[in-house]
Amino acid sequence: MSLTNPTQPNAPIPGANYTSDTRNYPWHRPPDITDLDEALEYIMDRLTETDAGMRYMSLIEAGTPITTITDMAVTLGVGRGKFTPDFAILMSGPVTRMLEIMAKSYKIEYDLGIEESDNFTTSVVYKEVFKKALAPEDDEAEITEEPSVEEDGGLMSAVSEEEQASMLGYDSEEIEEDE
């Protein structure tokens, strides 16, 4: 709301985006570079021959993952209208590798940003936690388990063989021929 007149909101007029000239934005026009090799050359030149490369090295030295810097570099190219988002996705691998090579050449320790931790919780762990939490406080009480899907024969065991075959696109004559 505006401070001068509290009854009138200070917001855009509904539908104004449909009447504005969107050609003012570089990403709304056709890209400057339409060849992937040219787009890669453009990014590599920016990394190696301008101050941007040194700024990126400073970020890597400060602990920023290389994948984050790659995202910044290719997004800037899209925002400037140099290439399309599709090209940005295709160029991400080579740009990341180039930043990694540059960091190694400057002897900068880097975080690639793609390491995955093995700390994931499986359903087995959850089941054990819930069994302990829901078990009566009595130590002698037995915990009843629900039968697992594997013991029952699987998900499709409740469906007849004919129905399974029809789901798979077979008719009953093809099943009899196979047996």
pLDDT of residue 176: 57
Residue 40 lies in a domain: yes
pLDDT of residue 149: 46
pLDDT of residue 59: 94
With beta carbons less than 8 A apart as the criterion, state whether 59 and 111 touch: no
Q: How confident is the model at residue 11 (pLDDT cuts 50, 70, 90)?
A: confident
Q: CA distances (Å), 89 to each of 16, 27, 114, in order?
A: 32, 15, 16
Residue 70 lies in a domain: yes
For the chain, what percent of residues have pLDDT higher than 70? 68
pLDDT of residue 157: 63
Residue 141 lies in a domain: no
64-68, 95-99, 123-127, 170-174: the lowest-pLDDT one: 170-174
Q: How far apart are CA 99 and CA 134, in angstroms?
A: 52
Structure tokens at 138: 């009595």
Residue 175 has pLDDT above 60, yes or no: no
| Domains of the chain: total | 1
Other C-beta atoms lying within 10 Å of the C-beta of residue 87:
23
The string of pLDDT tens digits covering residues 52-65 is 999 999 999 999 99
Residue 151 has pLDDT above 70, yes or no: no
What contacts 2, CB < 8 A, 6 or more positions away? 8, 9, 10
Q: What is the mean pLDDT of the chain?
A: 78
With beta carbons less than 8 A apart as the criterion, state whether 40 and 91 touch: yes
The range of the structural domain enclosing residue 66 comes to: 21-105
Flag whether the pTM goes above 0.85.
no
Residue 121 lies in a domain: no
For the chain, what percent of residues have pLDDT higher than 90? 44
pLDDT of residue 134: 74
Query: Who wins on pLDDT, 53 or 18?
Result: 53
Residue 134 lies in a domain: no
pLDDT of residue 2: 45
Residue 75 lies in a domain: yes
- Phi/psi of residue 138, nearest 5 degrees: -70, 125
With beta carbons less than 8 A apart as the criterion, state whether 56 and 73 touch: yes
Q: Is the dihedral of CA 129, 131, 137, 140 positive or negative?
A: negative
Residue 33 lies in a domain: yes
Per-residue b or e along 110-121, where b marks 16 or more CB atoms closer than 10 Å to that residue's CB? beeeeeeeeeee
Residue 123 has pLDDT above 50, yes or no: yes
Residue 39 lies in a domain: yes
